[in-house]
Amino acid sequence: MTETAENFDLVVVGTGSGNSVLTPDFDDWRVALIERDTFGGTCLNRGCIPSKMFVYAADMAHQAGHTGPLGVDTSLDGVRWPEIVDRVFGRIDPIAQGGEDYRHSLDNVTVFNGDARFTGHKMLEVNGQQITGNHIVLAAGARPFIPPIPGLDEIPYHTSDTVMRLETLPDRMVILGGGYIAAEMGHVFDAMGVSVTIVNRSERLLRAEDEDISAAFTEIATQRMDCALGSPIVGVSQSGSQVTVSTEARNVTGDVLLVATGRVPNGEQLGVTRSDIELDDDGYVVTDEFLRTGVDGVWALGDICHAAQLKHTANEDTRAVAHNIAHPDDLRAPDHSGIPHAVFAYPHVAAVGATEQSLRAEGRPYLRALRPYSDTAYGWAMEDTASFAKVLADPDTRLLLGAHIIGPQAPTLIQQLIQGMQFGLTVDQMARGQLFIHPALTEVVEQALLEL
């Protein structure tokens, strides 16, 4: 005999940004929240927030011993790793638990702790229980991609989900990958005194960034860490407590292996196609501009439906979905124009808009300006000889097409360019229509704009 499904007005799968769908508009709705992992999602528990708390500590550790050009002699006396971990998760874990406790306390919300799978049209199964929803929001995010490397499935390894909770620091760590997770975690563990080797099949790190940024970051990283770049990985093996990664060029050995080779969306794991919800070739849930799937009443937001995989885009999606469900006669599309992002490695990287190589591939005309931090008074004060700001503009409209910064405070410095780009200011208006504080580091942005 088939169990009768429990019906809800709204079902939300995933409690990261999905948790924020529940605005006051839904106080009188019967709501189901489904979470298979820790309440609060990736950003809170194993992504943006804890990683940046580790990064900040790593920044402080890395600066020790690197202040000689300023005439200041410093050294790193030591790292109390267990205390760092406790500081991070001692703050985060209670937030996650508090958020779940709050949702449990609401009379109109039922929390399901378990894996959700579609079993039919708008029908989900969680812990053996069938539930349906008039509206269903897919906010189940993404997970680490595990590449099909021979031997990898036979040895222990970490991903970004687990590596920040290591109980002790290893002597040596091998990191597979060359994207933002590899860059940030490489910085963290190197700064903490671990001997880090980054293994990446591409010859460049952060290769999705603008070509000048990627080249500069790779040069700095290779001076700081052992980097085995530009050679395919042929296998992974373990002998005792040692893990060996073999490439066509060399073998790399470490105590801990971190797999940081990208992230993939969770739509397939939910079995969304059983409800006739379409996935694209990369596994992302297909939506229209209002984040509606092809099934009436089913919506998707965040990492599960587009490749940006950024918390600020997921938050923008959440606002749109919450509004659209509550106000079906006044649909709003999330604004994904000029999505900015940052990499909190060392040095920092920040970007918005087009890269130079993408403009070149399109055959689109552009103007280019690149100004080093050392051209500014504050850059002199820092003795910074490697950092720079780069801007790209349309030669006819004089509108900003892209901006890329590598160096200290890059994610903060780029915000004024994001704002100017978003509100349609020309590069001339951005450069000359305001006063830049002298001698603040923002002058590097001013100088780049003036060069255009």
Per the structure, the complete domain to which residue 222 belongs is given by 152-261
pLDDT digits (tens, 9 = 90+) for 407-417: 999 999 999 99
Query: Is 335 a domain residue?
Result: no
Residues 382/358, Cβ–Cβ less than 8 Å: no
Query: Is 333 a domain residue?
Result: no
Dihedral angle sign, alpha carbons of residues 144, 145, 149, 153: positive
User: pTM of the prediction?
Assistant: 0.95
List of long-range contacts for 418-424, beta carbons under 8 Å, 24+ apart: 418/338, 418/340, 418/352, 421/338, 421/352, 421/353, 422/337, 422/338, 424/399
Are residues 228 and 201 located together in one domain of the fold?
Answer: yes
Are residues 36 and 60 located together in one domain of the fold?
Answer: yes
Q: Domain tally for the chain?
A: 3
Residues 260/159, Cβ–Cβ less than 8 Å: yes
Task: Read off the CATH number of the domain in which 435 is found.
Answer: 3.30.390.30
Residue 299 three-state SS: strand
Are residues 33 and 114 located together in one domain of the fold?
Answer: yes
Are residues 139 and 281 located together in one domain of the fold?
Answer: yes
Query: Is 68 a domain residue?
Result: yes
Of 261, 296, 314, the domain-final residue: 261
Strands (E), 248-284: 251-254, 256-259, 263-265
Query: Is 44 a domain residue?
Result: yes
Tokens 């790399």 sit on residue: 252
The pLDDT score that the predictor gives to residue 3 is 64
pLDDT digits (tens, 9 = 90+) for 307-341: 999 999 999 999 999 999 999 999 999 999 889 99
- Beta strand pairing status for 388-393 and 31-35? unpaired
The pLDDT score that the predictor gives to residue 73 is 96
Dihedral angle sign, alpha carbons of residues 203, 205, 209, 212: negative
Are residues 139 and 270 located together in one domain of the fold?
Answer: yes
The pLDDT score that the predictor gives to residue 1 is 34
Active site residue 327: no
Residues 336/408, Cβ–Cβ less than 8 Å: no
Query: Is 342 a domain residue?
Result: no
Which residue out of 66, 104, 336, 438 is catalytically annotated? 438
Mean of all residue pLDDT scores within the chain = 97
Query: Is 334 a domain residue?
Result: no
- Mean pLDDT of the region 372-389: 97
Q: Give the closest residue to 270 by CA, choosing from 125, 382, 61, 447.
A: 125
Counting Cβ atoms within 10 Å, is residue 391 exposed (0-12), middle (13-18) or buried (19+)? buried
- Mean pLDDT of the region 365-369: 98
Across-strand partners of 252? 245
Task: Read off the CATH number of the domain in which 121 is found.
Answer: 3.50.50.60
Q: Give the closest residue to 195 by CA, choosing from 161, 230, 169.
A: 169
Structure tokens that stand for 205 in this block: 């790190």
Amino acid identity of residue 72, one-letter, is V
**In the predicted structure, residue 403 carries a pLDDT above the cut 80:** yes
Are residues 10 and 136 located together in one domain of the fold?
Answer: yes
Query: Is 331 a domain residue?
Result: no
pLDDT digits (tens, 9 = 90+) for 237-255: 999 999 999 999 999 999 9
